[in-house]
């Protein structure tokens, strides 16, 4: 009986230890995803996040995490709390959506957060001091995503020309802002520019309702939008640019 009891206790402690390590690993993956997402906003959007640790609450439920990050913007009239949702897979996390709420105007809506089972983990999140992008090694997934970016621009620009929305030559040069596969969007410059102001475009790289799905890639087209020209953004795109030439469809 003593031997059996010892074995049971040993297995119980092993289970507790494993669960604790797993929670720590998942929390680390969620925090890394938050840092990468925030760095995207800082570098590409020019968003200002406070320096120093920010109060953080995270709930982890299987492959999903939800996070509250307090005081991402603060002033006498503003106290913005960021609410992030994300997924965990193969030891890495990715932010799927983000919304901000000014707590000084009204209490934040925590309905979605509270609906997820599990106890919140209190921690802090520190925004990196240098958010200059670093890129993961080229993978088949990234190559396929890059092909879909090119395909999207060929489809859209060809349609613009056919419908008289813009004038482009038969061959145009794309400068695609480099990206990691967990980026939610990337930017594309078209040279030479068309006769309108909108030579800067954006594509959404993931479906927020099916983040790891490949329907966009199978269809050969991402959701597409027009961005307002910004000298600072254009300079960054050229600095991190991937050049592709395309011929437009008649």
What integer is the mean pLDDT of 230-242?
92
User: What's residue 21's pLDDT?
Assistant: 56
Give the pLDDT band (50/70/90) at residue 24.
confident
Confidence band of 17 (pLDDT split at 50, 70, 90): very low
Cα–Cα distance list, 228 to 120, 154, 165, 199, 234 (Å):
39, 20, 17, 8, 10
Average pLDDT across the chain, whole number: 86
pLDDT at position 20, please?
53
- Asked which of 157-171, 172-186, 189-203 is least confident by mean pLDDT, the reply is 189-203
Specify if 133 maps to a domain: no
Over residues 51-75, mean pLDDT = 89
Pair 105, 144 in one domain: no
Rounded Cα gap, residues 43 and 154, in angstroms: 27
Helix (H, G, I), strand (E, B) or coil at 125: strand
- 135 occurs within a structural domain: no
Arithmetic mean of pLDDT, 9-24: 45
Residue 182 lies in a domain: yes
- 153 in a domain, yes or no? yes
Where residue 241 falls among pLDDT bands split at 50, 70, 90? very high
Assess whether pLDDT exceeds 80 at residue 195.
Answer: no
The pLDDT of residue 246 is above 90: yes
Supply the pLDDT for residue 197. 40
How do beta strands 79-89 and 64-74 pair? antiparallel
Two tokens, residue 94:
């990715």
Q: What is the mean pLDDT of residues 7-23?
A: 42
Total domains, the chain: 2
Is it the case that residue 100 has pLDDT exceeding 60?
yes
CA 134 to centroid of chain Cα atoms: 14
Mean pLDDT over 84-102 rounds to 93
How many whole angstroms separate alpha carbon 178 and alpha carbon 107?
A: 38
User: Looking at the structure, do residues 159 and 230 belong to the same domain, yes or no?
Assistant: yes
Both 119 and 148 in one domain: the answer is no
- For the segment 142-161, the average pLDDT, to the nearest whole number, is 97
If asked whether residues 114 and 37 sit together in one domain, one would say yes
For residues 89 and 147, membership in a common domain is answered with no
Q: Are residues 148 and 122 both part of a single domain? A: no
pLDDT for the residue 8: 36
Q: What are phi and psi of 223, to 5 degrees?
A: -55, 140
Judge whether 119 lies within some domain.
yes
Q: Examine the domain organization and report whether 114 and 183 are in the same domain.
A: no
Give the bridge partners for 189, in sequence order: 175, 200
Q: Over 60: is that where the pLDDT of 144 sits?
A: yes
What confidence score (pLDDT) does residue 22 get? Answer: 59
Q: pTM, whole model, 2 decimals?
A: 0.84
Residue 237 structural domain: 140-247
The pLDDT score that the predictor gives to residue 5 is 36
Rounded mean pLDDT of 138-167?
95
């Amino acid at each position: 009986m003593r031997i059996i009891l010892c074995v049971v206790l040993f297995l119980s402690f092993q289970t507790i230890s494993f669960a604790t390590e797993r929670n720590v690993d998942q929390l680390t993956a969620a925090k890394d995803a938050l840092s990468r997402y925030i760095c995207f906003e800082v570098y590409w959007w020019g968003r200002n996040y406070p320096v120093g640790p920010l109060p953080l609450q995270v709930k982890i439920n299987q492959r999903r995490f939800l996070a509250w990050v307090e005081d991402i913007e603060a002033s006498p009239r503003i106290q913005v709390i960021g609410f992030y949702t994300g997924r965990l897979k193969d030891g890495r996390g990715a932010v799927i959506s983000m919304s901000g709420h000014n707590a000084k105007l009204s209490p934040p809506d925590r309905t979605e957060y509270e609906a997820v089972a599990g106890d919140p983990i209190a921690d802090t999140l520190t925004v990196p001091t240098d958010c200059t992008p670093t890129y993961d090694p080229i993978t088949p997934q990234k190559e396929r995503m890059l092909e879909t970016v090119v395909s999207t621009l060929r489809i859209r620009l060809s349609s613009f020309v056919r419908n008289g929305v813009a004038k482009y030559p038969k061959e145009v040069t794309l400068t695609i802002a480099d990206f990691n596969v967990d980026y939610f969007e990337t930017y594309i410059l078209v040279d030479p520019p068309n006769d309108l102001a909108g030579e800067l475009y954006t594509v959404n790289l993931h479906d927020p309702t099916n983040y790891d799905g490949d329907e966009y890639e199978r269809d050969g087209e991402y959701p597409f939008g027009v961005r307002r020209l910004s000298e600072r953004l254009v300079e960054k795109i050229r600095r991190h640019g991937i050049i592709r030439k395309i011929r437009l469809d008649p």
